[in-house]
A = this chain, B = another copy of it.
Amino acid sequence: MTPLPHNRDEAPSPQKHDAILGAALELFVERGFHGTAVPAVAERAGVGAGTIYRYFENKEALVNALYQKWKTALASRVLEGFPVDVAPREQFQTIWRRMSDFVLEHPRAFAFLELHHHASYLDAASHAIENNVVEFATEFVRRAQAAKALKAVSPAVLMAVVNGAFIGIVRGSWEGRLELSRENLAAAEQCCWDAIRY
């Protein structure tokens, strides 16, 4: 009957929630988790310092929410509607292109996810997402290896090489050593395929 029902027990405005995550992303990328003050996040988000604690239990919960949000986004981007019936070469290209699209659209999110060392504060839920992605990639590699499309090398090694190379390109762009252009990304893609192909 009322135009808009009052939210159940907590009534978080999604705008504030996102503003906080956005501010945290910027600051965590610049100065890292431990180097960023919660009141600084609040100020950048345009909310009161106390407000952050209505949306996140504490600073660690905030960084985990941020990690999960973007890791999930990246995973979805790569996995959703993944082409099952095409050749491994094309599948690989698809993965690479989707990651490229993601990094070009959300450079800070990718930098936060992959350029920082989160070991000391990520929780189980965060690790679980990463594990899902790894599982998917492992499956892809195994199938492609069975089809003699990829080198007969431990999947973990092939994945580390390709993922590391991709992150290396992004890192190079953050350090000003190269431009994060489609051209460079495509060149790197060819390199990485050559790296792992049979």
B-binding residues in A (CB < 8 A): 30-35, 115-117, 119-120, 134, 151, 153-154, 156-169, 171-172, 174, 177-178, 184, 187-188, 190-192, 194-197
Contact = CB atoms under 8 A, between A and B. Distances in A.
A34 B117 CA distance: 12
Specify the main secondary structure of chain A where it touches its partner. helix
B169 A117 contact: no
Contacts of A164: 164-169, 171-172
Given A156-B172, A164-B169, 8 more contacts: A151-B191, A156-B177, A160-B177, A161-B169, A164-B165, A164-B167, A165-B168, A191-B195
A172 B158 CA distance: 11
A178 B154 contact: yes
A167 B156 CA distance: 13
Given A117-B32, A154-B178, A191 B187 contact: no
In the complex, the 5 A-B pairs of residues with the closest C-beta atoms, listed nearest first: A164-B168, A34-B34, A195-B195, A156-B178, A160-B172
Contacts of A151: 187, 190-191
A168 B161 contact: yes
A154 B180 CA distance: 12
B161 A191 contact: yes
Contacts of A159: 172, 177
